[in-house]
Amino acid sequence: MIELVSSWRCFDGEQRVYKHDSKATGTPMEFAVFLPRRALNGEECPTLMYLSGLTCTWENMVSKGGSQRTAAELGMIIVSPDTSPRGEDVADDEAWDMGKSAGFYLNATQEPWAKHYRMEEYITQELPEILEEHFPVDLSALGVTGHSMGGHGALTLAMKNPGLFKSVSAFAPIVNPMNCPWGEKAFSGYLGSDRSTWASYDACELVKARGWKGRILIDQGTADSVLEVQLKPWAFEKACREEGVDLTLRMQGGYDHLYYFVATFLPDHIAWHYDELV
């Protein structure tokens, strides 16, 4: 059962937020969904899932992303889940780059994380079932995108679940977490010290192992302060080139890592996904 938390009229559609008790995480979870007029009228619509980054919730996307106008014009549903389980009994880290708001879209295997940090299962199994049951979502036309840690999630979950996600794009994604400080810290904690278990959550390794039959779109700002140390898009570009995967990597001059960057190019991504899905 899902419960409506809030709803706002927006571009002749509705921006809503729901909460529910998650079987995957064992915690209450919230997600936002924008329903264009077509969806409110009961028509099935192509759907785009947006995964947020470190320190974020669904609210960053909903209030700063500016997705609603384009989604309303095209008749697309936009779903924005949270980034991690939450609650007083949920394990956390003192720093901002692990724990709550930093679930890395994986299924943790190590304590104290394994009990609740099952975001991969939540995003790829539980949430799609909820969407199909309660909204006019066409799961045969489901795409995924995301920002930073969410871009990592979009790329890895799409490549691992090509039967679920038919299109994928990303904004400033963490493409090689096995070899950057954010990923090494999170993977060590969530997955343990055996690096061989990390590869299934690394976009560079996954594209080598699984490939991708469609196109991939990535936007990356050249003024991003974490570009060189954390993001390394050229590593994914090289892997895609070697595997024959159709990647468009757009280096956007002067843009940083913040939502001004995301909001600038998100309409492009929504339209791109629409073309891929319909």
d(CA 15, CA 127): 18
DSSP 216-230: EEEEEETT-TTIIII
* Distance (Å, whole) CA 129 – CA 225: 38
Block residue for tokens 């995964």: 51
Evaluate the omega torsion of the peptide bond into residue 81 and state whether it is cis, within 30 degrees of 0: no
99 within 8 A of 93, measured Cβ to Cβ: yes
Cβ–Cβ under 8 Å, residues 179 and 232: yes
Residue with tokens 């729901």: 18
* Closest to 265 in 3D by CA, of 277, 278, 248: 248
- The identity of residue 195, as a single letter, is R
Token pair in block for residue 110? 């190590």
Counting DSSP H helices and E strands in the chain, the numbers are: 10, 9
Q: How far apart are CA 130 and CA 143, in angstroms?
A: 16
* Residues involved in catalysis: 148, 224, 257
Phi-psi sector, 36: left (phi>0), alpha (psi -120 to 50), beta: beta
